[in-house]
Amino acid sequence: MSRRKIEFMSLLEDYFETYLPYSRGLSKNTIDSYKQSFMLLLRFMQDVKGIDADDIRFSNLDYDTLLEFFNWLEKERKCKPVTRNQRLSSLSAFSEYAQNRDFDAASVFRSAIIKIPIKRGDKKQRAVFSREEIKILLSLPDERYETGLRDKVLLSFMYATGARAQEICDFTVSALHINGKSASVTLLGKGSKIRQVGVSLTLAETMQKYIRHRHLERYPGRHVFSSQTHELMTVSCVEGIYKKYVTIAKKKHPDLFLQDSYPPHSMRHSTACHLLEAGVDIVTIRNILGHVSVQTTQIYAEMSQDSVDKKLKEWNDTWFGSKIELKESKKDIPDFLKKR
């Protein structure tokens, strides 16, 4: 095998085939996201720099080339700053791995990638349902129809657990546990990490009735939620369910549901916000959501604007409820000190 093959492509292959899935234990979706970044890099190197994939050396990936690549992502590929930064993160992770494996070969690449700045963009406001909007959303599915019953149980389950869309798709009959007056569910999260989440007995019994309704109680490995055509529901199917009911809700309640879109993650974020507002500590919320770091939860579980406004009003009413009388100053403020 040639030295240049070992230098870049061989390390990249080992990174995706062995290191990420087995040493890191990352999910297929996460690995696919990483792969997309490198597919774009290879396309750039071929189309713009005239270098085929098999001919790429780490020495080709210097600062100027990488900076040109990220500019190309924004100008030619129309990538937004958040997407550009995700690509940068993917390349940075590989550069660290490559340098550990072959320091001399990868040092140029590693040195260049850490100099590429993270680009600031407009902070995107996360779509969060208010409690009133949650009640409306859960009331919309028509339980007289099979899909309506499924959708009502699915939406209720997602709000109660804060589960990701993929975790809902992967949820099986055996993952529901009822023990006397307590209940919990087992969720398979990112990187195949398993966590237990406590749920109300009412929700657990509703789930149990739905499982019996589908005649699944004797099949522990079957998925609880299925599409009309497949036993295993896809994330896109969950997205379609959300889009359907949010569209209906917007028409019925034009004064509510004011965000442009509400992806399935909106329900998870709403759960986190409502738990935080209810006084649940951040560590408990982290465990419920399955975050590795508390810092992730702190960023994720922001208080809704309604709650902020309410608490701000309470604070103002407490401290500034009475009318404040200002005494007239004997001397007027000089013009040069007045705000213009």
227 domain residue, yes or no: yes
With 0.95 as the threshold, say if the pTM is over it.
no
Q: What is the reported pLDDT for 260?
A: 79
Considering only CA atoms, give the Rg of the chain.
Answer: 26
End residue of a domain, out of 238, 261, 284: 261
What percentage of the chain carries pLDDT values higher than 90? 46
- For the chain, 340 residues long, give each residue's pLDDT as a single digit of tens: 444 445 789 999 999 999 999 888 887 878 888 999 999 999 999 999 999 998 999 999 999 999 999 999 999 998 988 889 999 999 999 999 999 988 888 889 999 999 999 888 665 567 788 889 999 999 999 999 999 999 999 999 999 888 889 999 999 999 999 998 888 999 888 777 888 888 889 989 999 999 999 999 999 999 999 998 889 999 999 999 989 999 999 999 988 988 877 888 888 888 888 887 777 777 777 777 776 666 556 665 554 444 545 555 555 555 555 544 444 444 555 554 444 4
Predicted local confidence at residue 315, as pLDDT: 53
Domain around 220: 131-261
CATH number at residue 96: 1.10.150
Number of domains in the chain: 2
CATH number of residue 164's parent domain: 1.10.443.10
**Do 139 and 51 belong to one domain?**
no
Q: How many CB atoms lie within 10 A of CB 319?
A: 8
What's the pLDDT tens digit per position in 121-180? 665 567 788 889 999 999 999 999 999 999 999 999 999 888 889 999 999 999 999 998
In the prediction, which pLDDT does 216 show?
94
Q: According to the model, what pLDDT value does residue 3 have?
A: 44
Q: Are residues 135 and 163 in the same domain?
A: yes
Written as one letter, the residue type at 103 is F
On whether both 59 and 164 belong to a single domain, the answer is no
| pLDDT for 313 | 55
Helix (H) or strand (E) holding 206: helix 201-213
Residues 6+ apart with CB under 8 A from 208: 176, 178
**If residue 155 lies in a helix (H) or strand (E), which one and from where to where?**
helix 146-161
